[in-house]
Structure 1
């Protein structure tokens, strides 16, 4: 479970998820309980579960966002469950929450994020290793769809050189030393 800001939530226009509002107690236990309940109801299928769950605070409430990306579920049954359990869980769709609670104009395309920095220079040059690092960086920056698209394009390219160019379209390729300098909050050789 990752903690996100409302600004990060606003940037998710165009995606869909289930939001549970006003959560308290042990959030991991709540997520596990909802996954179990939705499995028993036949909503989550083939042993799948919501794995990409985010926590955010808004208007004094702790809320959970269950991303629907790459989850095998019966959306019709989920819609019925959401309506039937609204009083208990305050469940709503991300696509309803954004315009109604956060004032997001859903007719505007989501703002394009800058390419995130990705420390690939100095890493094991195996293309699958590089794809994994770049994919993880994209997902950590809320760009899961771009990670999937990048992987598919690389596999179809059939060339190591083309693969590196494709990775560069999605992330800013940096070195591990650059990332360490940024993590420390100062340039090498600079003292405080």
Structure 2
């Protein structure tokens, strides 16, 4: 395995919510040649811009196929041209976007685990921001979230007002000012296979 090619699992893909990349399916033979070949093809097609190239790719197995993920982070692309290239070469490479592959083939992205925020009522506190910070710190420590205490203090010290500091504290502990939790969207697995996979 080349240093530029990383082995990942389909479970790793499911944690990549918010990221994007190009997935090519059914990549047989030496994977480094695929990386070099794709860089060459996309450069010639005017898709990779200003000397940009994919320095790394990730390989994973699914449904008996070896697939490569080319992440878009740090790569300058003409997305319109890439979208056209993907459609034109789909029968050859089975190209799809990471954001399409995971919901359609892997039952969606998983939500990263985050510990339950401790609850703290601001009502009745005396308006002393340091007393409120002390209270929030004690609750975070009890909840096993010690690493967030320093971060909360630094952000509050850099804040411009009492209200801003309260908003910051409300990101770490659940107060009357905290935003309601976002319900994760449910994605449905589509049945059937593409022409490339049949």
Specify the SS of the correspondent of 1:12.
Answer: coil
Aligned pairs for 1:27-106 (under 5 A) are 27-104=31-108
Normalised to the residue count of structure 1, the TM-score between the two structures is: 0.55
Report the aligned-residue RMSD.
1.8
Q: Displacement of 1:113 after TM fit?
A: 7.6
Unaligned 5+ segments in structure 1 are 115-156, 158-192
Q: In structure 2, what is the Cα distance between the partners aligned to 1:51 and 1:36?
A: 12
- State the partner residue of 2:10: 6
**Does the C-alpha gap of structure 1 residues 86 and 112 become closer, same or farther in structure 2, counting only changes over 3 Å?**
same
- State the partner residue of 1:174: none
Q: In structure 2, what is the Cα distance between the partners aligned to 1:3 and 1:33?
A: 19
Q: Displacement of 1:35 after TM fit?
A: 0.5
- State the partner residue of 1:146: none
Q: How many residues align?
A: 112
**Does the C-alpha gap of structure 1 residues 58 and 46 become closer, same or farther in structure 2, counting only changes over 3 Å?**
same
Q: In structure 1, what is the Cα distance between the partners aligned to 2:16 and 2:105?
A: 14
Q: Displacement of 1:52 after TM fit?
A: 2.8
**Does the C-alpha gap of structure 1 residues 103 and 77 become closer, same or farther in structure 2, counting only changes over 3 Å?**
same
Counterpart contact for 1:21–1:90, Cα < 8 Å: yes
Q: Displacement of 1:111 after TM fit?
A: 1.0
Larger Rg: 2
Unaligned 5+ segments in structure 2 are 116-157, 159-198
Alignment of 1:21 with 2:25, yes or no, is yes
Q: Displacement of 1:112 after TM fit?
A: 4.6
Specify the SS of the correspondent of 2:23.
Answer: strand
Q: In structure 2, what is the Cα distance between the partners aligned to 1:101 and 1:46?
A: 34
- State the partner residue of 2:112: 111
Specify the SS of the correspondent of 1:35.
Answer: helix
Counterpart contact for 1:44–1:73, Cα < 8 Å: yes
